[in-house]
Structures are given as C-alpha cells and as structure tokens.
Amino acid sequence: MKKLTANLKANSRANLRAKFAATFLLTSFLSACATAPGNYLDTSRLKDDGQHQNQPAETYPVHLIDGSLVAAQAQAATTPQPLPTSSISDPSQYVYRLSPQDILGITVWDHPELTTPQGSTLSAGGNTTQSVGGALQQPYTAALPGQADPYGQTVAADGTIYFPFVGRIRAAGKTVGELRDQLAAGLVRYIRNPQVDVRVLSYRGQKIQVTGEVKTPGPLAVSDVPLTLVDAITRSGGTTGEADIQRVRLTRNKKLYVLDANRMLDSGDTTQDVMLQGGDVINIPDRSASRVFVMGEVKTPMQMPMLKGRLSIADALTQAGGILDTDANPRQIYVMRGMREKPTTPDVYRLDMTQPDAIMLSTQFQLQPMDVVYVSTAASTTFNRVLQQILPSVQTMFYLRQLTR
C-alpha cells in the first residue's frame, strides 16, 4: 500500500512537472517576439481591418498563353499608334515662315544706305562679339549661348519690322521670298527697279526643347532646314547609355505622343521620324520604366531592363537563372500586367511549361514594361516548408517530455 501511494505521488509530481514545462514552453512561444534577438514590430497596438472583413477576395481571370494569344499579341504590336498631326508631311514642301525675334539681313543693291551694315558687330557685354559673317557660318539649328546676336532687322513682338521709305510692315508668318517682294514693291516709288535680298541672320523665333537622356539637352532653333525627330536627337549630342529611345515623348499642342525612334534606326520606319515644329517638347526618358520583375521560385529573383523594348518569358527566366527544379511548379508560371495603370483589374496570363509547345511560346510571348513574372511553388514544396517550420518545436517538446519523466 505504501509502495502504491509513493508511485501515485511520483506520477503526480511528474505530471505537474510536465504541465509546468508545457505551460512554460507555450508562454515562451507566445512571448518569442519580446525575447528573441533582432528587430521586430510590436503589433499589439495595431488594428488590422483586413482581419475582420468577411467579404470574399476579388478574383482575377487568368488567360492561358497559347498560340492564338501569341498571334493576337503580334498583331496588336503591328497596329500603328497615333502620330502627331503636322501641317506639312513632306519635307520637300517645307518652307520656313518668319516669326517674332528673328533677325533679318536686308540688302538693297547699289544702295548701301539701305543695306544692313556687313561690317558691324554687336557685343553682348563680355568677350563674345559676333559679326554678320560669323553668324552666317553658324549652324542654323544650333543654339548660340553667350554669343551676341548679329546686327540686323529684328522682327518685333507684334510681327512687324520698320524699313526706310516703306515704313512698318508685317513680316511674321511670311516666307523670305514674300517679304522680299513686299519690300521691293514698297521701294519702287523711290528706287528704279530695286534689287532686294532678304536673309535670316539668326533664327530665334521658333524653338524646340530637347530634354531627358541626351548628352546636350537644350533648345534647338527651327530654321529653313526641316528638323525631324532623329535630327533633333543627333544635334543634341546623341543619347546617353540610359536612354530609352523606344518611348520618346513628344508634347505638341498640349497632347502627348509616344514615338519609337528605334524602329526608324533598326527597320527604317520613317513614320516615327516625324517632322518637328516650333513649340514641340521632346523628352528622352531613361530605362527605369522599361523593367520587368522576375519573382518566385527562380534561382535569382531580380529586375531586368528590356533590350530595345523587347523581352520574352524565356529571356526573363534565363537571365534569372532558370526555375528551381525541386521547388517550382512548371504548370503555373504567371505574367501579371497592367498593375500600374489598373491596379484593381490587372491582366493575368499563365504558361504551362509541361506542354510540348511551351518552349516555343515562352520565346514568342513578349513582355511589356513593368510586367511581373512569377513562378509558383509546388504543393510538395509548400508542405515541406511547413514541416521545416514546426519540426524544431515538435522536437523540443519531445525532448522536454523525455527529460521530465
């Protein structure tokens, strides 16, 4: 009887020790955030409204990447984008029309008193003095920062100029030939058979602004030489290494157009080399917006820039080191698109890499800027990861149970 009583007491003490150990272990787990080393966030004062929502989460339709989808994508890529409207589409028909602030040189043969002094100079106040002859040697489309303007007839802000014996006449909006004929007609009463010549000494009335990833951003003057998009980029020193010439932004009359200058350089698509006009603003963006993100079960999750505006699923996965053979689910390779423009309704595409034609489709399906390529995790991998999380706790409880016996 005494032996039985001693055994019961021993078992009772063992049970108490086991309960105490279990309680201590559970308490330790619950307060792990407070006792574990490293940074942590105390969420006791945070109220997460998402935990109290009972409404079902929004669902997104998934489009399977197949041959018909790739064909539709290729057709959409060849659809012409809207181009800026221009009054002159053929460069051979381009004629420059005078504008306020243009400086003119007017010559009346055999009448030097009416001719713009060829030897006169005008100083800007520094050591830069420019003659009329020097101005004529300058490229018309290049800005002349810090240099003086040539001496001549400046078109006033109201578009007029004053000339002896003729008076004040309107010059803005006219061609050089039209202004020459008007001056000759006004001088015929004073000069017999007047021979008049008009030249633009400095084009200052119309300008184009070139900004962004070019080596020498700044204004370019519109002259009697037609100026196209490629001309503007070239005369700005060319692009930098970070330039994205596939998405050149042209602002004209408060409207934004996106042009692909690379199509002009690579395939000779002259429709993208639009003719520029006064007031246009050209911006060459960098490649930060032409990125693709590869995430999930790949060897090297990363972001990668697009090469000349093109990048396929195969390119993206290859640059990321490929999918993980033991962890990835090759049936679920997703492409998420349009999350910046429509974050609540993005387009989701899925590629099944187990199908025979998947390799071909992965090389033909072209990604777009800011696309996210996500490789899903296999179900077995998810289960194994759960086991890895709970196995240390199970082992700890097992050894603690053994020690308390």
Alpha carbon 244 to chain centroid distance?
7
Q: What is the mean pLDDT of residues 334-358?
A: 83
| Res. 131: pLDDT tops 90 | no
Higher-confidence position of 124 and 131: 131
Identify the CA nearest to 174 among candidates 102, 279, 228.
Answer: 102
Contact 277/97 with Cβ under 8 angstroms? no
Distances in Å between the alpha carbon of 210 and those of 81, 93, 239, 245? Answer: 22, 25, 11, 13
Residues 103/251/230/101 CA torsion (nearest 10 deg): 0
Dihedral over alpha carbons 328, 329, 331, 336 (to 10 degrees):
-70
3-state secondary structure of 211: strand
Task: Tell me if 306 sits within 8 A of 290, measured CB to CB.
Answer: yes
Q: Which domains does the chain have, with CATH numbers?
A: 97-202 (3.30.1950.10), 207-287 (3.10.560.10), 290-382 (3.10.560.10)
**213-263 pLDDT, tens per residue?**
999 999 999 988 889 899 999 999 999 888 888 889 999 988 999 888 888
Q: Is the pLDDT of residue 144 over 50?
A: no
Write out the H or E segment, with its range, that includes residue 382.
helix 379-403
For the question of whether the overall pTM of this predicted structure is more than 0.75, the answer is no
